[in-house]
A and B are shown apart, each in its own frame.
Chain A
Amino acid sequence: MNIDWPWPWLERNLDDIAEATGQHLYLALLPVLVGLVISVPLGWAASRWRLARGILVPLAGVLYTIPSLALITLVPLALGTKIIDPLNVQVPLAIYTIALLVRSVSDALRAVPGDVIAAATAIGYRPVRQFLSVELPLAVPVIIAGLRVAVVSAMSLTAVGALVGIGGLGQLITEGFLRNNGVELVVAIVLIVVIALLIDALLLLAGRVITPWTRAGRGVKA
């Protein structure tokens, strides 16, 4: 393995690295966002109807079990996309996110105390507003916890797309491997890990900021 002093290589390739990083973020984060938006209504349905739960939760388990490279490979078969279409990576990542979050959202909504819902109804909240301003906020800590796992996994799974020619930092990994360039390989790995942990920390922080009541209630356990 070629372990040169990394700066010359880094300096020469800064633009490529930046581009691959941007592409990686686009490949990894957009599906998580889409997955989140889809899993809230699905999780709500699963928390409300036994039949929906009986279908969605096992289905999520099955989809989550399918290995990433297999799912990435099968998307063109299902959607008719070209083999190097970014969607081939993004659709599996969205599926994994939904599979992870549907259960979290549904469990969190089911855990909202009955007297809170009764109180909201008594004050005159209508169903939609009650869901958006009472039930969903109370579910936020659990949803954030699931989202953190989803984002971190998505950041590392996106690299797998490089095996079928879909860009991002995974491309630097395969390129570094084929060219026997350890620096390139390590730079890509470090970038993926550091960015994933940064986003993880940001989500943790954001979760705290938007749920001030979880801290206010400390010590006065309900």
Chain B
Amino acid sequence: MDQGRPGGEGVNSAFNWLFDPDHWSGPTGFPARILEHLGYTGLSVLIAALIAVPVGAVIGHTGRGTFLVAGLSNGLRALPELGLLTLLVLLTYVGLLPVVVSLVVLALPPVLAGTYAGVRNVDRSVVDAARGMGMRGPSVLWRVELPNALPLIVGGIRSATLQVIATATIAAYVSLGGLGRFVIDGNNAGPGSPDGYPQMAAGAVAVAALALTVEGVLALAQRLVVSPGLRATNLVGKNT
């Protein structure tokens, strides 16, 4: 297939670039870049969830430290992702670690907020009933509050994942792999060159497709984790 007309900025040259078989194999092809992108995203969201779910659950359960949840999500929204990434890389070194640290930082607030809100919003009568049956704090949290909160926890993980997918794209600027490479490399090649704008647009289409696919999968997961007991009575509706 041709490499796209030199300097062509049209839809055709972008699609030719996207569907060129040469760009679908090897370590710099789309499949490899998609896997890298998913790898960074999965790793960062996993670390963020391992930190934020327990912390959010304890804050929601005890009601102590609520300010942390609101403060963190408001403060971090204003922080430019590009600034955080470049600053951390400049302070340390060019590599995976500083990037993953920034991605984790950005993924923490949504997971924390989702878990906190999920645990906090569990119907008080349900919690009282559990206590009335003789359950202690940890077992109320573990067996009643967390299962009830699961849809909102997954909701938090869902927004965190999308935020991380978007930021991992930007991270190509500080030499990370992933789908952002196509956009950054295309721009570096000079938008007018054959591997310029067509490559950028192809990368952008791939990023968008990846984000929408992951969003769809997670939306489905969010529906599946609603406890069967809640589905019938529709108790979840008022929390979401």
Taking Cβ atoms with an 8 Å cutoff, the residues of A that contact B are: 1, 62, 65-71, 73-74, 76-77, 83, 149, 152-153, 155-157, 159-160, 162-165, 169-170, 173-174, 176-177, 180, 182, 185-186, 188-189, 192-193, 196-197, 200
Closest to B168 in A: A67
Distance (whole angstroms) from the CB of A174 to the closest CB of chain B: 7
B184 touches A163 (CB 8 A): yes
B89 at the interface (CB under 8 A from A): yes
A-B contact pairs, 28 of them (CB 8 A): A65-B162, A65-B211, A66-B207, A66-B208, A67-B165, A67-B207, A69-B170, A69-B207, A70-B203, A73-B200, A73-B203, A74-B208, A76-B9, A76-B201, A149-B77, A155-B80, A156-B78, A162-B82, A163-B82, A163-B183, A165-B187, A173-B80, A174-B173, A177-B90, A185-B87, A185-B90, A188-B80, A189-B80
Q: Which residue of B lies closest to A76 (CB)?
A: B9
* Interchain CB contact under 8 A, A70 and B83: no
Interface size (B, Cβ < 8 Å)? Answer: 41
With both chains docked as a complex, state the minimum distance between the C-beta of A6 and any C-beta of chain B, in angstroms: 14
Question: Which residues 196-211 of B have a CB within 8 angstroms of A?
Answer: 197, 200-201, 203-205, 207-208, 211
In whole Å, how far is B44's beta carbon from the nearest beta carbon of chain A? 15
Chain A residues within 8 Å of B183, by CB: 69-70, 73, 163-164
As a 0/1 sequence over residues 68 to 100 of chain B, the CB contacts with chain A under 8 angstroms (1 = contact) are 000000100111111110110111000000000
A77 in complex: contacting residue of B90, B201, B211, B212, CB < 8 Å = B201
Closest to A180 in B: B90
* Chain B residues in 8 Å Cβ range of A170: 80, 82
Give the one of A67, A71, A174, A192 with max B CB within 10 A: A67
Known: A177-B90, A189-B84, A193-B79. 5 other contacts (CB 8 A): A67-B169, A152-B77, A163-B187, A169-B80, A200-B78
Distance in angstroms between the alpha carbons of A171 and B127 in the assembled complex: 52
Closest Cβ of chain A: how far from B109's Cβ, in Å? 13
Question: Is B180's beta carbon under 8 Å from chain A?
Answer: yes
B79's partner among A1, A68, A189, A200 (CB-CB below 8 A) is A189
Of B80, B81, B170, B205, the most chain A CB neighbours within 10 A belong to: B80
> Which residues of B come within 8 Å of A, CB atoms?
9-11, 14, 74, 77-84, 86-87, 89-91, 162, 165-166, 169-170, 173-174, 180, 183-184, 187, 191, 197, 200-201, 203-205, 207-208, 211-212, 215
Q: Which residues of B contact A149 (CB under 8 A)?
A: 77
- B78 with A69: CB separation less than 8 A: no
A197 and B78 form a contact (CB under 8 A): yes
Q: Is the CB of A156 within 8 A of B81?
A: yes
Contact A70 B90 (CB under 8 A): no
- Say yes or no: A159-B201 contact (C-beta < 8 A), given A1-B90, A70-B169, A189-B87: no
Contacts of A182 in B (CB 8 A): 87, 90-91
Separation of A155 and B80 alpha carbons in the complex (Å): 8
CA distance A160 to B83 in the complex (A): 9
**Bound-complex Cα distance A74 to B169 (A):** 14
Cα of A83 to Cα of B9 in the assembled complex, Å: 10
Asked if A68 and B86 make an inter-chain contact with CB atoms under 8 angstroms apart, the answer reads no
Max chain A Cβ within 10 angstroms of own Cβ: one of B87, B187, B201: B87
* One of B80, B82, B184, B205 near A74 (C-beta < 8 A): B205
* Chain A contacts for B165, CB-based, 8 A: 67
A77 to B14, Cβ gap below 8 A? Answer: yes
